[in-house]
């Protein structure tokens, strides 16, 4: 056992053991069933290579009921075989006789991928680990397995049976993806090397304000720089007339109430929150730079931070030793309004330790080909936000509880 409060692959003798690994292979797919982005599939290869002397059973999901890409795991097994350099056998079953027979007949080095766990309707029900341990999949599969590893950080904010159920009945730990997520995000939250700066943008205003409140309150950030829609909300909270078009958009997204929360954040932390001094307005897809002091009720939509703000923010970011980015600075899918996002990304890679949250900001990092220049690029959008906001993730808490149980049992 390491100094961490959860177990990892390194804490187990995996040789010859049957290991059940919850992975996150959920990927965008076209109507023909082809995977369009296999980043998540590739992310788990390190875990599988460290389990080459074991029998590995993979449990995963693709999409959710009602969606057009709610389909089987066969394409995922094929792609994973390519990256692993050996066959990953797709098993068209989750916990029935066929799945159990295949698991029982595995030899060392074999890897199988069970069917989409969300084909079983109870997978998506939120229950306690003890209740999930009493479900059919856990009861049927656990006797065939020696160790459970959760390597699916992106779904660990859900108390689903494949995430928390097996931790109650099997020695359990984190795979390499989960391990890196927890250790990297912990370092980000605690500030690591100073100064530590969080740059929060995007359209999910409530999430960004939760993260800002958490990292400023616990001392994890020296400064929080706001961009995107969350910056517009904060500007409105500071008394700036951001214009009817921008206020209407905030209301349409259900974030009008967040203006008061932003006001509280600005009053509480004052100089620790950085707001844009100028913005880029969208005039029929043409970029128009305007100081925030010149905004009025007739102002056009704000689609990016302005050039002066870009210079100021990137200067701060370049001089920080720890940087956490979450959310784009503007409507980055339109070329003229991607400038703020791209310049912030380029500045962040100059810090000693840099983290990118999941979602749109990760897509922009990938677009620029800079993912390998960051210390950590998170695989989990909602899970990453919750973790940065100080929310205890059920999947992580289940691993912590399992580690304590494992340690206690070894002492007997």
On whether 287 is known to bind a ligand per the annotation, the reply is: no
Return d(Cα 134, Cα 150) in angstroms, integer.
Answer: 18
The 3-state DSSP class for residue 307 equals helix
Annotated binding residue 361: yes
The 10 Å Cβ neighbour count of residue 149 is 31
Q: Is 10 annotated as a binding residue?
A: no
**358: annotated binding-site residue?**
yes
62 is in an annotated binding site: yes
User: Does the annotation list 193 as a binding residue?
Assistant: no
Task: Give how far the C-alpha of residue 235 lies from the chain's centroid of Cα atoms, to the nearest Å.
Answer: 27
Q: Is 26 annotated as a binding residue?
A: yes
Q: What is the dihedral of CA 310, 315, 318, 324, to 10 degrees?
A: -50
CA distance 287 to 197: 28
- Asked if residues 117 and 123 have their Cβ atoms less than 8 Å apart, the reply is yes
Annotated ligand binding at 158? The verdict is yes
Tell whether 327 is in a known binding site.
no
Record the tokens describing residue 33, joined without a space: 């069933």
359 is in an annotated binding site: yes
> Rounded to whole angstroms, how far apart are CA atoms 345 and 348?
5
228 assigned to a ligand binding site: no
Element at 296 (helix H, strand E): none
Check the annotation: does 333 bind a ligand: yes
Q: Is 372 annotated as a binding residue?
A: no
User: Does the annotation list 357 as a binding residue?
Assistant: no
Beta strands in 206-308 (DSSP E): 223-226, 273-274, 278-283, 286-291, 302-305
What's the CA gap between 283 and 154, in Å, rounded?
37
For residue 332, say whether it is annotated as part of any ligand binding site.
no
Side-chain half-sphere exposure of 333, counting CA atoms within 13 A: 3
Reading the block at residue 102, the tokens are 């295949």
Annotated binding site: 24-26, 40, 61-64, 118, 158, 333, 358-361
Annotated binding residues for ATP, written as ranges, equal 333, 358-361
Annotated binding site for substrate: 24-26, 40, 61-64, 118, 158
């Amino acid at each position: 056992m390491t100094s961490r409060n959860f177990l990892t692959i390194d804490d187990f003798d995996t040789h010859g053991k049957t290991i059940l690994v919850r992975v996150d292979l959920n990927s965008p797919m076209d109507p023909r069933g082809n995977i369009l982005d296999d980043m998540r599939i590739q992310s788990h290869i390190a875990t599988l290579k460290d389990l080459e002397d074991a029998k590995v059973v993979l449990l995963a999901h693709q999409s959710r009921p009602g969606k057009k890409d709610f389909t089987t795991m066969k394409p995922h097994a094929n792609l994973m075989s390519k990256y692993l350099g050996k066959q990953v056998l797709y098993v068209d079953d989750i916990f029935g006789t066929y799945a159990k027979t295949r698991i029982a007949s595995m030899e060392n080095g074999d890897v199988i991928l069970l069917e989409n766990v969300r084909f079983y309707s109870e997978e998506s029900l939120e229950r306690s680990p003890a209740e999930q341990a009493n479900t059919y999949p856990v009861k049927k599969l656990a006797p065939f397995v020696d160790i459970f590893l959760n390597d699916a950080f992106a779904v660990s904010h859900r108390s689903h049976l494949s995430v928390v159920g097996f931790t109650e009945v099997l020695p359990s730990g984190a795979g390499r993806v989960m391990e890196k997520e927890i250790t990297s995000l912990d370092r980000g939250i605690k500030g690591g090397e100073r100064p530590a700066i969080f740059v929060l943008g995007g359209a999910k205003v409530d999430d960004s304000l939760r993260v800002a409140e958490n990292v400023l309150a616990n001392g994890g950030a020296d400064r929080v720089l706001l961009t995107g829609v969350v910056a517009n909300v904060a500007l409105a909270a500071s008394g700036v007339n951001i214009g009817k078009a921008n206020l209407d958009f905030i209301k349409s997204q259900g974030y009008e109430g967040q203006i008061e929360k932003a006001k509280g954040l600005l009053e509480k932390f004052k100089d620790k929150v950085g707001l844009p001094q100028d913005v880029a307005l969208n005039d029929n897809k043409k970029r128009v730079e305007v100081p925030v002091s010149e905004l009025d009720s007739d102002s056009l939509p704000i689609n990016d931070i302005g050039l002066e703000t870009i210079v100021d923010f990137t200067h701060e970011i370049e001089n920080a030793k720890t940087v956490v980015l979450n959310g784009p600075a503007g409507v980055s899918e339109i070329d003229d309004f991607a400038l703020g996002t791209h310049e912030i990304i380029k500045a962040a890679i100059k810090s000693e330790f840099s983290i990118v949250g999941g979602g749109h900001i990760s897509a922009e990092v990938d677009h620029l080909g800079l993912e390998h220049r960051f210390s950590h690029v998170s695989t989990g959008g909602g899970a990453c936000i919750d973790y940065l906001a100080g929310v205890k993730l059920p999947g992580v808490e289940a691993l912590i509880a399992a580690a304590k149980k494992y340690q206690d049992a070894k002492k007997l």
